[in-house]
Amino acid sequence: MTAAMEDYLHGVLSGNRRWIARAITLVESTRADHRDAAQRLLVELTPHAGAARRVGISGVPGAGKSTFIEALGTRLTAAGHRVAVLAVDPSSRRSGGSILGDKTRMARLSADPRAFIRPSPTAGTLGGVAKATREAMVVVEAAGYDVVLVETVGVGQSETAVADMVDTFLLLTLARTGDQLQGIKKGVLELADVIAVNKADGEHETAARRAARELSGALRLLHSDTPVLTCSGLTGAGLDEVWAKVVRHQEGLDLAGKRSRQQVEWTWSLARDRLLTRLRDSAAPVAGEIERQVLDGTLTPSLAADRLLAAFRPEPPSPGGA
Ligand code: GDP
């Protein structure tokens, strides 16, 4: 191990925030030499990771995620936990746009010495962002954070990516008029292990309770026993109950089994991504012509797929080579 790598390792294991941040920057980097260094660091950190509760938190923009995480996180640190907040938001850009986990949205928690908040990586593709967040999870766990909250927006595929990396997936929703299920995509309901109707305070409280009852009834019709609660990130009402359900869900899990399956699934997912990238790279010189023939009708899609595969080179071209 190089001297620099020793610094990273000791820095992270000793819980030094600056080294934790630098290690996450390293795992987020797409530069080839950084990738090698990051993988060597992760090999060293992995035996120290795995002891945290991993909780995904999803909800549409405005559902109150950051307010909720700020309030829940503060309660957890007050109870002696060390809380890391990570995020998966492939649409995020450092300049403008939504940046989940943004510290300015969680002012109190980001000033809490027992909390560590990291905005979503901006690596671009969902696969890239999810990979960086998974690896950041290893870093913060090795640094001693025993609760990892992974925030994601309730749009697109990012929820599935987060559900695949956490033990428990919590969906924050709002009381809506009309059909409860209409406001929430069915796929997301299936991912949720715990559902909380948020903003159950003041004049909204009654509507939130009614919404929770309706949603719970609708879920039972779908043969789901996912618990539905109400809470308010603003007042703190119901937060302890929501957390208790999260803990209860984890107690009922074969956690080791779930995590093993996630690791194997993830391995295949990475392999698929890389295979596809290599295929696209190798077929690039001929792809345009093949696509044109498909559009002309002179080549069937099936034969075209064979041609693309015939151009496949399993190894990436060597840097200085032909
Ligand atoms: P996010 O986009 O899901 O992160 O939502 P935010 O936490 O930024 O909240 C969106 C808006 O809803 C803000 O104006 C908050 O002040 C408000 N809000 C968040 N949580 C609550 C809550 O529990 N009750 C009420 N009444 N308003 C809330």
CA distance 201 to 231: 8
For residue 166, the CA-to-ligand 1 centroid distance in Å is: 24
The two beta strands, 194-198 and 147-153, are unpaired
For residue 136, the CA-to-ligand 1 centroid distance in Å is: 26
What is the DSSP-derived secondary structure letter of residue 104? G
* Dihedral sign of CA atoms 257, 263, 265, 268 in order: negative
For residue 151, the CA-to-ligand 1 centroid distance in Å is: 14
**Token couple for 70:** 């700020």
Low-confidence ranges of the chain (pLDDT < 70): 1, 92-99, 101, 103, 123, 155-156, 177-185, 316-322
Asked if residues 166 and 54 have their Cβ atoms less than 8 Å apart, the reply is: yes
For residue 297, the CA-to-ligand 1 centroid distance in Å is: 54
Q: What share of the chain is helix, strand, coil (3-state, %, to 5)?
A: 55, 10, 35
pLDDT at 321: 45
For residue 199, the CA-to-ligand 1 centroid distance in Å is: 7
CA distance 16 to 207: 45
pLDDT in tens, 213-245: 998 998 888 888 899 999 999 999 999 999 999
pLDDT at 89: 84
Task: For ligand 1, pick from 57, 60, 67, 158 the residue to mutate: most ligand atoms within 8 Å of CB.
Answer: 67
CA distance 215 to 179: 9
**C-alpha separations of 20 from 94, 207, 230 in Å:** 19, 43, 35
pLDDT in tens, 273-285: 889 989 999 999 9
Closest approach atom of ligand 1 to CA 202:
26
Ligand 1 neighbours (beta carbon < 6 A): 59, 61-67, 198-199, 201, 232-234
pLDDT at 171: 94
Closest approach atom of ligand 1 to CA 172:
3
Does this model's pTM top 0.95? no
